[in-house]
């Protein structure tokens, strides 16, 4: 059986639920039942049919509603792996850090092209890091305190999944100097990111160790699932850029969050309107069961 989940930004109307049901029927779906609207904004439609056809039928329209279609099997995930920049936090850390060197616009342009998949990720990363050579390390703490904000819904998502027994991993093509404190603040069990080389209280413009790139993110997902005795269908991966695509494609539920076009096209679900609590509704977890501390 398949499940179509509708998540509205504000309030989900019965007419919108009825319209989605009609679209599924037009795509050959056989409706089994329609769930109640929970929290006034989300509802499930249970049906039999073709997954691809159903996803096509429920492509987003002008209404601020996210539509997700998935199998009913392994709906609640036991592992969450997520990108950091523009996913779990609202900014790209390297762009904001570049602002303290007076070169934000220059670096932000490269970042955008890399996330769109127009540039080789490692080459673009090393090139941007090189431009930061000589920047005082105090700029990192300033950037953390002044620029980095947790994405709405991130803490609730991660802490709720962890409380229900899921393994949570933050993996970033950014830097440990940001990923480690962000992971701690949100509640991730572990974090992996790139290491900025330092000397005499300044950035050298180099990286220490191997680069955390798209393939490393996918490898970490696969290894973490295996070590936890999970199949990939029990895992959720979320990101926004081209370097998240292998990880998103590998997971049983790959989520593109307010993502670039290539990432959205590769994902099982694209969240365009809602915050990260949408990933709980995807799993059938309403607000009565959220951890909100």
Residues labelled catalytic:
83, 85
Give strand ranges (E) for 118-259: 167-175, 190-199, 202-208, 235-239, 253-257
134 touches 202 (CB < 8 A) = yes
Tell me the torsion sign for CA atoms 196, 200, 204, 208: negative
Query: Residue 38 carries which DSSP code?
Result: B
Among 144, 123, 135, which residue's Cα sits nearest to residue 197?
135
Residue 59, SS3? coil
4 touches 69 (CB < 8 A) = yes
Own/partner pairs for 224-233, CB < 8 Å, 24+ apart? 224/79, 224/81, 224/167, 224/169, 225/79, 228/78, 228/79, 228/167, 230/78, 230/79, 231/74, 233/73, 233/74
CA gap 247, 245 in Å, rounded = 5
Among 222, 208, 204, 214, which residue's Cα sits nearest to residue 240?
214
Q: How far is CA 117 from the centre of its chain?
A: 17
CA gap 121, 214 in Å, rounded = 8
């Amino acid at each position: 059986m398949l499940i179509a989940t509708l998540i509205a930004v504000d309030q989900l109307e019965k007419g919108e639920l009825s319209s989605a049901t009609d679209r599924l029927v037009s795509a050959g779906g056989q409706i089994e039942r329609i769930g109640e609207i929970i929290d006034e904004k989300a509802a499930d439609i249970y049906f039999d049919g073709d997954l691809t056809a159903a996803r096509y039928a429920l492509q987003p329209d002008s209404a601020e509603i996210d539509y997700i279609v998935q199998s009913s099997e392994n709906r609640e995930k036991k592992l969450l792996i997520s990108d950091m920049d523009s996913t779990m936090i609202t900014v790209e850390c390297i762009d904001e850090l570049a602002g303290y060197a007076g070169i934000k616009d220059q670096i932000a342009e490269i970042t955008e092209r890399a996330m769109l998949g127009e540039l080789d990720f490692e080459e673009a990363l090393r090139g941007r890091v090189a431009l930061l050579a000589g920047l005082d390390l105090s700029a990192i703490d300033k950037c953390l305190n002044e620029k980095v904000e947790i994405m709405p819904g991130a803490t609730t998502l991660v802490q709720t999944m962890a409380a229900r027994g899921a393994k949570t991993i933050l993996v970033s093509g950014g830097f440990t100097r940001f990923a480690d404190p962000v992971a701690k603040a949100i509640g991730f069990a572990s974090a992996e990111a790139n290491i900025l080389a330092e000397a005499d209280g300044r950035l050298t413009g180099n990286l220490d160790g191997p680069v955390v790139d798209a393939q490393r993110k996918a490898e970490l997902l696969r290894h973490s699932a295996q070590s936890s005795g999970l199949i990939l269908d029990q895992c959720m991966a979320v990101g926004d850029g081209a370097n998240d695509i292998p990880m998103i494609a590998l997971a049983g539920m790959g989520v593109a969050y307010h993502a670039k076009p290539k990432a959205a096209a590769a994902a099982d679900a694209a969240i365009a309107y809602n915050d990260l609590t949408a990933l709980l509704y995807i799993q059938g977890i309403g607000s009565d069961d959220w951890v909100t501390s």
